[in-house]
Structure 1
Amino acid sequence: MFYFMNSNKMFFIFILFFSTLISISSNSWLGCWIGLEINLLSFIPLISNSNNLLSSEASLKYFLTQSIASINFLFFILLKMIFMKNFEMNNFFSIMINSSLLMKMGSAPFHFWFPNIVEGLSWFNNFILMSWQKISPIILLSYYFNKNFLILIIMLNAIIGAIGGLNQTSLRKLMAFSSINNLSWMMSSIMISENLWIFYFLFYSMLISIMCFMFYMLNLFFINQLFFININYLIKLSLLINFLSLGGLPPFIGFFPKWIIINFFMNNNFYFITFILIMSSLILLFFYIRIIYSSFMFNYLKLKWIKIYFKNKMFILLNFISMVSILGMILSTFFFL
């Protein structure tokens, strides 16, 4: 992780975190917009790398899409301030402001930039893009959302996130579509309460950080690399547990926040949206298991020169987090009792 040894990168990471705080603690829409702009301008130096053409292309694409979303956001905020008295236009403005925020966080149907950009980034940048960069748009969305429009977007995210990942061989694109699917759960939680969203987001961030960290340590970018990598079985088991937890399989801790959301939706008669969320999670689990299956079954190529060693401390940490994942439902059941 050369980021923490490079003062320039450290500075931009600090500004990135700080800009999100500016955005979510601002008391005017203009302040929120300024926070989003600082966030965009601090993330671009992190992802651009002159040695890698893909990352330069990714930074340019990211800049263009985020700029368009920001322009839309500012334009409709100003229009809303002008037509404050006109209640018929309110619905339209809320949908347009929501759309620009959805585009910022890479939500369907404005998601087409997201998998392309993810492909050009390192695992650490991917982690930032899939977790931290979602915070400010989703909190701004919670301030002013159109309920019917948001329900439609939640269902669209769940379906596109599940189906989009089916024919992917790149692990980065798989994680991108998984992130789009998880976004539907995040939006569901923000509709219910902000505390529940924080709860879901913490679990999601923990799991996605483990996945990105493991892929970074093993230097994996495609599914077929798992076929012939000579990995310790404990590491493979850890990968399996954390993948299933991220997919939301019941014995693991990743299911716990999803359980609360499902519980709320069922109590409030949102049966159709719950059905779509659960079905999309099943498809997600299918392609997670496909990754794991390949790493477990195709162990015939024991290449002597590919030996992967984790540092002891890292390995203990991974095992601990895997244990937390397994004991998750026991802990959560106690929580409900």
Structure 2
Amino acid sequence: MFNNSSKILFMMIMIIGVLITVSSNSWLGAWMGLEINLLSFIPLMSDSSNNSMSTESSLKYFLTQALASTVLLFSSIILMLNNNLNMEICNSFISVIILSTLLMKSGAAPFHFWFPNMMEGLTWMNALMLMTLQKIAPLTLISYLNANNFLMVSVILSVIIGAIGGLNQTSLRKLMAFSSINHLGWMLNSLMISESIWLIYFIFYSFMTFILIFMFNMHKMFHLNQLFSWFMVSKSFKFTLFFNFLSLGGLPPFLGFLPKWLVIQQLTFCSQYSMLMILMMSTLITLFFYLRICYSAFMLNYYENNWIYFVKFNKFNTNLFLILTFFSTFGLIFISLFFFML
């Protein structure tokens, strides 16, 4: 088990790896940053109270990322040789291979097979880093490539698989994993439109994901039946939970609708109505299973189990969560009023 100073050191190295990848001007430097990021994240994954599942998840993550890194390095070398020696190798084919490795690193469909099962063995803090911080470097490298046709296929598969995969899930970590895949499809689509819209979407998605995972980690929740049991403990917890769920799903007038609003507006300007229809239908499916959970919580009586006990939580954490929930719930209204006044 690592102490807190060691964990902070690994997190700093992980952030340095992301910065090296983002600021690199060659594929070799980007690969080096990805490897630094990988080797600093694996000790954080394996250092967990659930030793068997965390070790299995760290091994799955290492094998998947090592495979993607090997193919990325090989493709980068071929691409550099092709540019320097004028070899008769199609650059677009190499770009598709590089894009596939980056999609595998980020967990996008159709290379998402490792992501939900690996999320099941992580702690909430590691899951938060995997769904937010670990996606910055691959998505930044994807923006450098010109393979929009293959990227569009990945967008469609990501939003569909992310929406359908979360329908019958009872594990909160797998539910968040499929939600991340769905949002990743939206982010890839925004990346095809404008990098500024992608950055806005990623910031808002990270904020909403942080609120939910902060709450799950504070209450030590991992399954849906734990949520229903806690409704007997706190009524305010019930409302704040599902306000954040609906905000993450993108339901207006919550804050989570704002980044999707920007993507919908740009797709309308570009007359990409078929892609817009697919994205909106996937969001409706996502909102369906969120609202189904909400309906069960608000409309049905759920009696307290014998093993439920009351815990006195940190007042600072509770107040911080309520403040973040307030911004997640009413943030869109304040932002709209601000731009209306301008």
- The bucket for the TM-score relative to the shorter chain is over 0.9
Deviation at 1:304, TM superposition (A): 8.4
Alignment of 1:158-173 (within 5 A): 158-173=159-174
CA contact 1:155–1:184 (8 Å) conserved in 2: yes
The answer to whether the Cα contact below 8 Å between 1:248 and 1:254 also exists between their aligned partners in 2 is: yes
Q: 1:50 deviation in Å?
A: 7.0
2:306 aligned with 1:300? no
Following superposition, the deviation at residue 308 of structure 1 comes to 3.5
Q: Which residue of 2 aligns with 1:44?
A: 42
- Aligned with 1:244 (options 227, 238, 246): 246
> C-alpha separation between the residues in 2 aligned to 1:87 and 1:252?
52
TM-score normalised per structure 1? 0.94
Secondary structure class of the residue paired with 1:234: helix
State the alpha-carbon separation in 2 of the partners of residues 30 and 295 from structure 1.
Answer: 51
What SS is found at the alignment partner of 1:139? helix
Name the residue aligned to 1:8: 6
Q: What are the superposed Cα offsets for residues 159-204 of structure 1, whole Å, 9 maximum, x if unpaired?
A: 0000111121111001000000000111112122222112111111
Say how many residue pairs are matched.
335
Letter in 2 for 1:147: N
Confirm whether residue 62 of structure 1 aligns to residue 61 of structure 2. Answer: yes
Q: Which of the residues 272, 285, 288 maps onto 1:283?
A: 285
Question: Which stretch shifts more, 250-259 or 217-226?
Answer: 217-226
Tell me which amino acid in the other structure corresponds to 2:247: S
User: Does the Cα contact within 8 Å between 2:229 and 2:308 map onto a contact in 1?
Assistant: no
CA RMSD across the alignment: 1.9
Tell me by how many angstroms 1:290 deviates.
3.1
C-alpha displacement of 1:86: 5.6
- Is the Cα–Cα contact under 8 Å of residues 207 and 242 in structure 1 kept in the other structure? yes
Q: Which residue of 1 aligns with 2:262?
A: 260
Structure 1 segment 1-337 matched on structure 2, within 5 A: 6-49=4-47, 52-84=51-83, 85=86, 89-229=90-230, 230-296=232-298, 297-301=300-304, 306-337=309-340
Distance (Å, rounded) in 2 between the aligned partners of 1:145 and 1:87: 19
Q: 1:261 to 1:37 in 2, by over 3 A?
A: same
- Cα deviation for residue 48 of structure 1 reads 0.5
Identity, % of aligned pairs? 51
What 5-or-longer segments of structure 2 have no aligned partner?
none
Structure 1 regions of 5+ residues with no counterpart? none
Letter of the 2:258 partner, please give it: F
- 1:252 partner SS: coil
- 1:57 counterpart letter in structure 2: E
